[in-house]
Amino acid sequence: MNCDKIKKQSIAKIVDTENVSKASRCSYILTANVIKIERKGIKTMLRIKYEELLKEFERVLISRGFNEKNALDAATVFAQNSLDGIYSHGINRFPRVVEYLDKGEINPDVVATCEMSMGAIERWEGHRGFGPLNAKQAMDRAIELAKQHGIGMVALGNSNHWMRGGSYGWQAADAGCIGICWSNTMPNMPAWGGKDRKIGNNPLILSVPKSNGDHVVVDCAVSQFSYGKIEEARLKGQKLPVPGGYDEDGNLTTDPAAIEKTWRVLPMGYWKGSGISILLDLISTVLTNANSVQKIGTFGDEIGLSQIMIAIDPGKFNDAETTDRIVDELVADIRSSIPAQEGGKVFYPGEIEIGTRKDNQENGIPVIEEKWNAILAM
């Protein structure tokens, strides 16, 4: 498509483009905040500038009772998740959070508070406040404790969904710390060998810092795919790359809509993922003395969660150059892998997010049009 043929307007309409990335770059130069991309057989996509997305999130949260500072902090979580390509816990999840606010299940006026402190470990009460703000505050405190003691842990009980758990792994790494954190969930996955939902796909995050910001970060649910990723695939009209759960006939499937019907997601590693889920739930419930997956399942919605934030300061053992050298050596070895497919590439954990962030900063954040319209109408 010739750039000269794209009209200079707030929304550029690009129809049946063969090279979407090229067209997006071209129209991004000419337009303001929104680019519209239509492709046959695929839901209409927009590309929204980060600043525009942030502004709309902030507006909606202020209208739901957040003060300006907390609204900006919370909006930044959703916008940053979307910028990094984690749309399932950014733009796509935002309407559900607003629904919880409207139902009174999230209190915009409260913040987490410390209940018990014993050296490097603390227990905090979340008061069912806004999950991302509580989680950020808890990881901030874990980092402070790690800088004092070498390691810090905050057990945060009775909080709400933290959105993208990886945010707090990146947060720890940005502070020069190793990060370990996880959350329990509502019962949304069968234990291995069962059919009914008894355990959570409790997200687990591990991160190791690099001084240039190219951190190594794993952020994963202990199901093969998170429900957010399954929803994202359905909204995009895509199949999952590998089986992610069971259909109504009890067969493994890559069809996201079929999995959403049964709520039978597949634990990662089969019985191993099931076991990890159970232990993550037990540890978080014991340390917070708050809600287990089983108890959360009695609330009706996914609220009152238990979360663990751990930060470790490697600077107590190594200088930054030593840690960087260790990370660089391991990453270089991983990158030297022989690709399983010709022309393929092996990435280290977190590398794809770094590349996506740069692309979205330049070209705008991809947003499904119906999701964007729903937010504008709030």
Catalytic annotation, residues: 89
Residue 84 corresponds to which tokens in the numbers above?
């990094």
CA quadruple 346, 351, 354, 357: dihedral sign? positive
Kind plus residue range of the DSSP H or E element containing 114: strand 113-118
CA dihedral of 331, 337, 343, 345, whole degrees rounded to 10? -30
* Contact predicate 138/145, CB 8 Å: no
The set of residues, in sequence order, having a beta carbon less than 8 Å from that of 354 and lying 6+ positions away, is 214
* Contact predicate 54/328, CB 8 Å: no
The set of residues, in sequence order, having a beta carbon less than 8 Å from that of 279 and lying 6+ positions away, is none
Q: How far is CA 281 from CA 16, 264, 295, 307, 350, in A?
A: 47, 19, 11, 9, 25
CA pair distance 125, 306, nearest whole angstrom:
10
Q: How far is CA 294 from CA 92, 165, 282, 305, in A?
A: 26, 21, 11, 11
Residue 19 corresponds to which tokens in the numbers above?
């090279």
Residue 22 corresponds to which tokens in the numbers above?
């090229």
Short-list 88, 279, 267, CA closest to 189: 267
The burial of 304, by beta-carbon neighbours within 10 Å (0-12 exposed, 13-18 middle, 19 or more buried), is given as buried
CA pair distance 71, 55, nearest whole angstrom:
10
Please identify which residue in the block is written with the tokens 């009460």. Answer: 125
